[in-house]
Amino acid sequence: MNITRKTRLVQSVSVAAIALFSSVPAFAQAADEPAAAPGEIIVTAQRRSENVLKVPVSVTVVSADQLIQRGANDLTAVTKLAPSLQVAQDNTFSVRGVGTATFANTVEASVSQVVDDVVLGNREYAANAFYDVARVEVLNGPQGLLFGKNASAGLVNITTNKPKLGELSFSADGELVQRARPGDDGTGYQIRSTVNAPLGDKAALRLNAIYSDQDPITVSRVNPAMRNDLGLTNLGLRAKLLFEPTDSLSVYLIGDYNRQRGITGRYDITFRQFGPGSQYPAYGLAAGPENFNFAAEAPNYRDSDTGGLQANVSLKLGNGMELTSITAWKQAKTDFQFDSDETAINFFSYNSADQKYDQYSQELRLALPTGNALTGQFGLYYYRSVGNSSGFRGGNNGLPDVVAIGFPFCIGATVTQGPPPACGVNNRSFLGQDFQYSLKNDSYAAFGQLGYQLTNTLKVTAGARLTYEKAKINLRENFGNYFVTLGIKNNVANQATDATDLSYKLGFDWQATPDLMVYGFYGEGFKGPGFSNTAPAPGADLSVRPEISRGGELGVKGKALDGALTFSLSGFYTKFYDLQVQAFVQALRTFVLGNAATATTKGIDFSFQARPFEGLTLSGSASYADATFDDYPGAQCYPTQATGGCKADINSSLPGFVGTFNAKGYQLPLSSKFTATLGAEYAAPITDGLEAQFGVGYYHRSSQSAGIGAPFTIPTWDTIDLRAGIKAENWNISLFCKNCTNEIRPISIGSDGGDANPVGVAPPVLTLNQRFSFESVRTIGVRAGINF
């Protein structure tokens, strides 16, 4: 149902008022952890609570306060607070320039996501909004050793707040925003709330809820007769029960459900540039870097439901050891369709899929007591996932219906016998691709890491993880009738693959002074095998080999000026073997997954936090990452490419056609060489119990690679965020803007498949499209709440 802007604004103001006068902000409510000293940050980067300055790995920590103050309401927004983390389309992420840039769910991500100690193996979970989050930790480099599943490039560790024993409290916050759009700004609102209730002396229940409703980022002209869920609504519910019958036993149960409806933030696609020979300008369509307009004549919707149950049980043994069991079941269901040609004409109007995913995981971990010369942990891990997906992509290449129905296209035609020329088949569309697959993955692992205190200041660490993975796919593709089939027609694949890997880590940390630690490590990361979801040739092997990373890091962490300044500096070098990538194959006019030989990322990470005087906090972090292919001889030439030996001919069978090249030296997709963020927060008392708060944030990102080749480069991005508000003991209100100067940038740039000509018919066309996120444009708003 479409709601006018005026009606939405009245509705949003009403909801914001309710949030202000009857709810409270979800400000930092610490999880059940050791009490931190002023300025101290506790993390679980090594699966136990530690001061971040004592953890010998590079980690960026974003606290609950920072998330709220900077309006980081989901994982995509965290990228402006953690420079090493980058995001692209379809919830794909990279760390230090390395990620898995694919929309297929048939391989796992190089950057893993963990929520409350459970690895989430499907990217759909990354779209969920944040609520009652204690902190987000971005762990740089291979992290699969201690975190259950594989993470060859990095890991995002999200911790939500545990129930608090003996406390009865209620909190919530409301946010009303307006986003810049050409001609008609979009609005949105969000409400979050939390109830913590004691259940006697030994148990507590914590209930969380979130609801948000956001206007589309783009401006559309759609077919009113079709379903068009262009905005985004998000409902999240979470219940957490903590039961501690004795000092040694803890039972922590979590159930959650998240529901999203709408395409914005995911499929906001517009034309960026029309290539020579494009058929689109003749239809009066527009393109440009700041083009927010698109049209559609087919349906546009996305229905996503995720959720699950988990039980974390911890038992402290008499000898000081701690045994932990983590049992979890997670499910994701997604049904979507969007008009992928961004026009009101059927060029390539259908891109749809129905997906269901289930995962089960069980982890047992035994931790040695802290405080001894020998510390560490051992564990066993099992993971199983089952995914089923079916879908269709296609369109009529702009053919009018009266032409399409006749010979030779025969789209929606009545089958007749010739002569004269007649339709012997009824085609579904001019261009078409259909698929149906079932994918099963099993992972078994045993792991351990030990640390030994050689001296009072020097500690050595060694760890290893033995992993066995097996996967099986049953795929049927392109059994429909099309004038031009995208991919291999009538292809069936029933295939299996497996892999065994021993990953490891060797390291040290030296407490050079009480306030300065020097550390280093070398190790191997592992990402399991998978499959391409489309075949490159009839009967081809679809398996994708495991991705292996080997490298190390040297760093220093410490504090100075009596703790008023904390800092971290690290240098890293990691080489990737059999990097898993997705490439568009021009001859097939579809995407194929495969391995890309070798790549290297090297660079420096730096962060600091300073409190020069009471009330003022300064912070900053920066990441320089040179992430390039060392060798990639099978990289696909993009349409019209004439570099690297590519030759753009109209027919791949001609001797002069070169469809692949060696991408050696090219920047990896999802990488940016230099990224930095700076922030300042100042609080000044107004009266007793009332203070004014001011905040400013600056974010810089050098040009980012969205694909292989110069046309897919996203320009440098600089943004400024501002905040001003008033805070009392039980309420707060603030005005804010994000990307205040409206520096518009997409999250991805790609080649438009609907504008490409069939091989052998006409010269290839390079028309570029772009996708936007909520962070792509200026957002202004008000945030308010109370707590008691």
Which tokens is 329 given? 């079941």
Residues 211, 625: Cα–Cα separation, whole Å: 37
- Asked if residue 701 has pLDDT above 90, the reply is yes
Neighbour tally for 636: CB within 10 Å: 23
Summary count for the chain: helices (H), strands (E): 4, 47
Residues 510, 597: Cα–Cα separation, whole Å: 36
Which tokens is 739 given? 């990307």
Out of 382-386, 515-519, 642-646, pick the least confident: 642-646
Q: How sure is the predictor about 674, in pLDDT bands with cuts at 50, 70 and 90?
A: very high
- Asked if residue 16 has pLDDT above 60, the reply is no
398 CB-side CA count, 13 A: 15
- Asked if residue 133 has pLDDT above 70, the reply is yes
Residues 725, 731: Cα–Cα separation, whole Å: 11
Predicted local confidence at residue 537, as pLDDT? 86
pLDDT in tens, 363-373: 999 999 988 99
- Asked if residue 32 has pLDDT above 70, the reply is no
pLDDT in tens, 241-274: 999 999 999 999 999 999 999 999 888 999 999 9
Out of 467-471, 513-517, 640-644, 675-679, pick the least confident: 640-644
Predicted local confidence at residue 3, as pLDDT? 39
- Asked if residue 4 has pLDDT above 60, the reply is no
Sign of CA dihedral 179, 713, 530, 494: positive
Predicted local confidence at residue 419, as pLDDT? 80
Q: How sure is the predictor about 190, in pLDDT bands with cuts at 50, 70 and 90?
A: very high
pLDDT in tens, 597-640: 899 999 999 999 999 999 999 999 999 999 999 999 888 888 88
Sign of CA dihedral 134, 138, 139, 145: positive
Residues 722, 741: Cα–Cα separation, whole Å: 11
Which tokens is 730 given? 């039980």
pTM: 0.89
Predicted local confidence at residue 24, as pLDDT? 32
- Asked if residue 146 has pLDDT above 90, the reply is no
Predicted local confidence at residue 655, as pLDDT? 43
Q: How sure is the predictor about 757, in pLDDT bands with cuts at 50, 70 and 90?
A: low
Q: Is 528 left (phi over 0), alpha (psi -120 to 50) or beta?
A: beta
Predicted local confidence at residue 430, as pLDDT? 94
Predicted local confidence at residue 102, as pLDDT? 73
Tell me, what amino acid is at 609?
Q
- Asked if residue 657 has pLDDT above 70, the reply is no
- Asked if residue 585 has pLDDT above 50, the reply is yes
Q: How sure is the predictor about 28, in pLDDT bands with cuts at 50, 70 and 90?
A: very low
Predicted local confidence at residue 20, as pLDDT? 32
Which residue has 């759609």 as its token pair?
222
**Dihedral Cα 11, 13, 18, 24, nearest 10 deg:** 130
- Asked if residue 47 has pLDDT above 50, the reply is yes
pLDDT in tens, 198-213: 999 999 999 999 999 9
Predicted local confidence at residue 658, as pLDDT? 60
- Structural domains of the chain, ranges and CATH numbers in brackets: 5-787 (2.40.170.20)
- Answer for the pair 269, 302: CB distance below 8 angstroms, yes or no: no
